[in-house]
């Protein structure tokens, strides 16, 4: 299960790995949970906890991966995002004592596209292409799938979120493209993005 944390929206994606080959990836379900109707922040955090817990109970994943907390200029935003992440971690552990993993945004983008500074639009387009030229409801959903794909490739070499000590992750050498036997994407240009978006429609 891949989760893109947020305070107003939380993206999620469930992937299944073929146990025999260890390489074939099957898409199960993905979507976005929205919490904008909760004006009270405490109620919103509680709602995040409950809905994530229900998802984990319903789909029963073996492992969960999240995007790690990133630096934002507004301290209040950072604090709120920390609360949301805490609610997600608590919900996962409450529903099923799972291993939790986290990945830096740059690592997720490197794995998903071959370029660690890719735009959300480029990740959106490539993840849709990997899913059979289908689209997503928002960047939150496509980011969640990218996080799940990242974990598929790096899961054996990563420590769990609870075990992980402070420090930076190394840039991975694997990418979704190389994993599936294709050439990795280069630094994207606007024309490249539009070309991919058109092929997914």
Which DSSP state fits 168?
A: P
Any alpha helices (H) in 96-181, and if so which ranges? 105-113, 120-130, 139-154, 176-179
Helix, strand or coil, per DSSP, at residue 76: helix
Q: Which of 63, 140, 141, 143 is catalytic?
A: 140
Q: Which of 4, 63, 130, 143 is catalytic?
A: 4
Task: Compute the Cα dihedral for 130, 59, 78, 34 and give only its sign.
Answer: positive
Q: Is residue 146 a contact partner of residue 42, using CB atoms and an 8 Å limit?
A: no
Pairing of strands 63-67, 2-4: parallel
Q: Is residue 66 a contact partner of residue 28, using CB atoms and an 8 Å limit?
A: no
Q: Does the annotation count 168 as an active-site position? A: no
- Calculate the alpha carbon distances from 9 to 6, 27, 44, 103 in Å: 5, 21, 10, 19
Q: Does the annotation count 163 as an active-site position? A: no
Q: Which of 67, 130, 141, 143 is catalytic?
A: 67
Rounded distance between C-alpha atoms, residue 150 and residue 131, angstroms: 15
Residues noted as catalytic: 4, 67, 140
């Amino acid at each position: 299960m891949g989760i893109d944390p947020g305070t107003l929206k939380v993206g999620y994606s469930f992937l299944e790995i073929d146990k025999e080959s260890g390489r074939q990836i099957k898409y199960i379900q993905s979507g976005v949970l929205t919490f904008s109707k909760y004006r009270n922040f405490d109620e919103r955090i509680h709602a995040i906890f409950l809905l994530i817990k229900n998802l984990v109970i319903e789909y029963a994943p073996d492992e969960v991966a999240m995007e790690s907390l990133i630096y934002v200029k507004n301290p209040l935003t950072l604090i709120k995002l920390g609360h949301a992440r805490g609610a997600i971690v608590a919900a996962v552990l409450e529903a099923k004592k799972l291993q939790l993993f986290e990945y830096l945004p740059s690592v997720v983008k490197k794995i998903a596209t071959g370029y660690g500074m890719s735009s959300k639009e480029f990740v959106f387009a490539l993840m849709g292409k990997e899913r059979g030229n289908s689209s997503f409801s928002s960047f939150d959903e496509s980011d969640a799938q990218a996080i799940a794909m990242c974990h598929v490739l790096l899961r054996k070499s990563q420590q769990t979120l609870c075990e992980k000590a402070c420090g930076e992750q190394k840039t991975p050498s694997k990418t979704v493209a190389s994993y599936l036997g294709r050439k990795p994407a280069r630094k994207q240009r606007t024309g490249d993005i539009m070309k991919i978006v058109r092929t997914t429609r």
